[in-house]
A and B are shown apart, each in its own frame.
Chain A
């Protein structure tokens, strides 16, 4: 909700300069990745998934109020937004660990699918709500921050009051060491994480895909929010069913199908005239890519890691993918301004095919079956 109006708030309302905006945006994107790893390890070490996740949610919630009381000093705004992302970084891995520990191993795909679907509901509704507030009361960003804070509080209340604190207890004792070297020796885990990192490297970011579609269609950028909505709707609808399918037919298989969807997307952009129907199909496939990969890869990692290093494993997965995504965006940006969008499409198509082949090979060497079947 807040991220959707953040550029308007920083640029139009507070009138920060381009350089200041750039620094804030960089921090906003970067802080999360670093925080994730640390929080995953800490959550495993303390066996306190719920506590650490709650802390992350609380920190982000407080930051909404922080935005409310900060004026236009851009350094203060930058600090608060960094803290907000820090909160996001802290909560993600222990939250995913909680999801995985509360689920039977054979249902992990479904569970993460449902989570991703609900998450996407927020992604769709949040901006609508934020812009509705802004439209009905010009410049009342405070109202947006307060509503966002209230929704965050409801989330925290649900977490604190309704969620069982799963600790993945091993014989009920407190394990104070986290076997990180063991995690790195875990071949399936390393293979899955490598595949995930590779995939988020060869798949260009949403923003670039939409720019490619516009370049192809020769239309203005005015439709970009609609393109986002198209992908999100497809993702939202497909996340749970594809997660379930992954539990049935094998998660690796569904993950590879997801990558194939992305190959089709680039092939479509590269070869076809992107008419309205093609555009719809491209967005459907783009959403299917997310539905078949994002939650499924979390399920794969959960299935391949023992419960005492679950949060660390999920955190490593998140950090690896967000770093390669960042690197990919920077490289695509350079290619785009150096050789133009045509080269970007061609390269993305070939990179995604290579990614597909490599993942299919690497995942075929790992055991698809959850390692803890029967221990619960």
Chain B
């Protein structure tokens, strides 16, 4: 082949590839865009926002909608009275949590910054966006709305570099003012000072007094439950093998992720710790969970269970189970994850 004909072939090949890839991008975009609403009789955006406002006046659940289509990944609300009706927003969140007044939405943004935590006010306006140090992991807002806590991975590149280290920070809501990094807390165990450079904190949960929190401390391959004071920056270790705590509204129980199996085959199931006796209760639920558990009420928990994932889509449902262990689990919301229950 002559140089000219090689150049011509190359140009043709490139053109064909660009057209094909462009077409794929276009159809993927159409599939996941909101442009197709309206003509199918979907209520318009103003009506959606009104529906959201109406639902948020009563007891409701906020969650990440995973219904395949234009609303995939969006922050969505359902009334606890009528779970079949969903009212969606245009805000995309990977992890979210809400108090009666404020919200925290962890999301993936553009490079080079990458990951954000949006703080939302009562009107779902983004008041502040925090740059996260890595991939979003856990989000919690104190019930009285004073503080929020987020956990994210750090950097998100090679494990050789940083381990799978996580960072958990407490911020004021909705301003986003930095309050504390859990790594700055002094930790004690059995009354003695306890410190190691490999300390990793994740999965904080607030009590009614947002100054008092529980969280997970990972060190030397062990998982510890710590309880502490935000202002005093103190933690004490109160139990072992309690991961990613979530405190019940009556503050009598902590729902957590219990690890089974080892190494590659490890999986996590929901379990409950009774704080008065410090006893762990297994639940008749063997499905694997990843995210922090949420409480529906003092007797029931909610948790997301992923059931299929591919390059195109990730599917998960929110399940519920009674903590007395007397009844099997059932689906609470299909095609949804990251639930946050708000009662007024």
Whether, in the assembled complex, A329 has its beta carbon less than 8 Å from a beta carbon of chain B, the answer is yes
* Total contacting residues, chain B, CB less than 8 A: 65
Whether, in the assembled complex, A176 has its beta carbon less than 8 Å from a beta carbon of chain B, the answer is no
Knowing A20-B264, A220-B133, A221-B133, the reply to whether A136 touches B313 (Cβ < 8 A) is no
Residues in A neighbouring B25, C-beta threshold 8 A:
133, 143, 146-147
Closest to B29 in A: A137
Indicate the member of B6, B14, B33, B161 with the most A CB atoms within 10 Å. Answer: B161
Q: Mark B146-185, 1 if CB is under 8 A from A, else 0.
A: 0000000111111111111001010000000000000000
Whether, in the assembled complex, A67 has its beta carbon less than 8 Å from a beta carbon of chain B, the answer is yes
Cα A336 to Cα B161 with chains together (Å): 10
Contact call B21/A146, Cβ cutoff below 8 A = yes
Knowing A11-B135, A132-B110, A228-B112, the reply to whether A137 touches B28 (Cβ < 8 A) is yes
Contact call A135/B32, Cβ cutoff below 8 A = no
Within 8 A of B (CB), among A273-289: none
Whether, in the assembled complex, B266 has its beta carbon less than 8 Å from a beta carbon of chain A, the answer is yes
Contact call B111/A128, Cβ cutoff below 8 A = yes
Whether, in the assembled complex, A14 has its beta carbon less than 8 Å from a beta carbon of chain B, the answer is yes
B312: contacting residue among A14, A140, A224, CB under 8 A: A140
Cα A326 to Cα B158 with chains together (Å): 11
Knowing A22-B159, A208-B161, A340-B197, the reply to whether A12 touches B21 (Cβ < 8 A) is no
Contact call A139/B313, Cβ cutoff below 8 A = yes
Contact call A21/B111, Cβ cutoff below 8 A = no
Whether, in the assembled complex, A189 has its beta carbon less than 8 Å from a beta carbon of chain B, the answer is no
Cα A305 to Cα B328 with chains together (Å): 71
Contact call A71/B308, Cβ cutoff below 8 A = yes
A72: contacting residue among B18, B29, B198, B310, CB under 8 A: B310
Contact call B155/A224, Cβ cutoff below 8 A = yes
Knowing A135-B110, A143-B25, A161-B6, the reply to whether A222 touches B135 (Cβ < 8 A) is no
Residues in B neighbouring A223, C-beta threshold 8 A:
131
Q: Mark B13-46, 1 if CB is under 8 A from A, else 0.
A: 1100110110011001101110000000000000
Whether, in the assembled complex, B270 has its beta carbon less than 8 Å from a beta carbon of chain A, the answer is no
Cα A137 to Cα B27 with chains together (Å): 11
Whether, in the assembled complex, B228 has its beta carbon less than 8 Å from a beta carbon of chain A, the answer is no
A21: contacting residue among B13, B20, B132, B164, CB under 8 A: B164
* Shortest distance from the beta carbon of B225 to any chain A beta carbon, whole Å: 19
Whether, in the assembled complex, B203 has its beta carbon less than 8 Å from a beta carbon of chain A, the answer is no
Whether, in the assembled complex, A153 has its beta carbon less than 8 Å from a beta carbon of chain B, the answer is yes
Whether, in the assembled complex, B51 has its beta carbon less than 8 Å from a beta carbon of chain A, the answer is no
Closest to B64 in A: A138
Cα A195 to Cα B187 with chains together (Å): 46
* Shortest distance from the beta carbon of A47 to any chain B beta carbon, whole Å: 21
Cα A137 to Cα B72 with chains together (Å): 9
Knowing A221-B134, A333-B160, the reply to whether A207 touches B310 (Cβ < 8 A) is no
B72: contacting residue among A139, A226, A338, CB under 8 A: A139
* Shortest distance from the beta carbon of B62 to any chain A beta carbon, whole Å: 17
Knowing A18-B164, A141-B311, A333-B160, the reply to whether A222 touches B10 (Cβ < 8 A) is no
Contact call B10/A135, Cβ cutoff below 8 A = no
Knowing A131-B110, A162-B6, the reply to whether A143 touches B24 (Cβ < 8 A) is yes
Cα A329 to Cα B158 with chains together (Å): 10
Contact call A158/B10, Cβ cutoff below 8 A = yes
Residues in B neighbouring A128, C-beta threshold 8 A:
110-112
Residues in A neighbouring B161, C-beta threshold 8 A:
205, 207-208, 211, 329, 333
Within 8 A of A (CB), among B229-279: 263-264, 266-267
Within 8 A of B (CB), among A323-339: 326, 329-330, 333, 336-338
Contact call A127/B111, Cβ cutoff below 8 A = yes
Indicate the member of A29, A153, A161, A210 with the most B CB atoms within 10 Å. Answer: A161
Knowing A29-B158, A138-B32, A146-B24, the reply to whether A13 touches B314 (Cβ < 8 A) is yes
Whether, in the assembled complex, B92 has its beta carbon less than 8 Å from a beta carbon of chain A, the answer is yes
* Shortest distance from the beta carbon of A144 to any chain B beta carbon, whole Å: 8
Contact call A222/B131, Cβ cutoff below 8 A = yes
Residues in B neighbouring A8, C-beta threshold 8 A:
108, 135, 156
Whether, in the assembled complex, B7 has its beta carbon less than 8 Å from a beta carbon of chain A, the answer is yes
Knowing A128-B111, A131-B108, the reply to whether A161 touches B311 (Cβ < 8 A) is no
Whether, in the assembled complex, A142 has its beta carbon less than 8 Å from a beta carbon of chain B, the answer is yes
Residues in A neighbouring B33, C-beta threshold 8 A:
137
Whether, in the assembled complex, B73 has its beta carbon less than 8 Å from a beta carbon of chain A, the answer is yes
Cα A364 to Cα B17 with chains together (Å): 49
Residues in B neighbouring A338, C-beta threshold 8 A:
197
Residues in A neighbouring B167, C-beta threshold 8 A:
220-221
A4: contacting residue among B28, B111, B314, CB under 8 A: B111
Cα A23 to Cα B159 with chains together (Å): 10
Contact call B153/A14, Cβ cutoff below 8 A = no
Closest to A223 in B: B131
Closest to B316 in A: A15
A-B contact pairs, 13 of them (CB 8 A): A11-B135, A13-B314, A15-B309, A70-B311, A71-B308, A134-B108, A138-B73, A138-B108, A143-B25, A147-B25, A207-B162, A211-B155, A326-B160
Q: A residues engaging B (CB < 8 A)? A: 4, 7-9, 11-15, 17-23, 25-26, 29, 67-72, 74, 127-128, 130-143, 145-147, 149-150, 153-154, 157-158, 161-162, 205, 207-208, 210-211, 220-226, 228-229, 326, 329-330, 333, 336-338, 340
Given known contacts A12-B108, A17-B267, what 15 new A-B pairs fall within 8 Å (CB)? Answer: A22-B164, A26-B159, A131-B111, A137-B32, A138-B32, A141-B312, A143-B24, A143-B28, A143-B29, A146-B28, A150-B17, A220-B131, A221-B154, A221-B167, A222-B133
Nearest 4 A/B pairs, CB to CB = A221-B133, A207-B161, A150-B21, A138-B73
